[in-house]
Amino acid sequence: MAAGARFATKNVADDIDTSMKQLNEALDQMPFARLRFLGQHKKVTRAMATLLVALEDVKPYIS
């Protein structure tokens, strides 16, 4: 089970990275709405960065 948890943690981190890249690309394709969504985008980016750091911190304890 622990190996599965470690694998799942890596998958989640990879999926978050992919999703954030897609979000950034989508925002780039909406220049008319970029300023309107910029504040929310920053909040989401910070929250996802916090989650990724937490996932990385947990990895050593999942043996």
At residue 32, what are phi and psi to the nearest 5 degrees?
Answer: -70, -25
Exposed (0-12), middle (13-18) or buried (19+): which is 42, by Cβ within 10 Å? exposed
Q: pLDDT value at position 1?
A: 46
Q: Identify the band that residue 46 occupies on the pLDDT scale cut at 50, 70 and 90.
A: very high
pTM of the model: 0.68
Q: Is the pLDDT of residue 40 over 50?
A: yes
What ranges do the domains of the chain cover?
Answer: 1-61
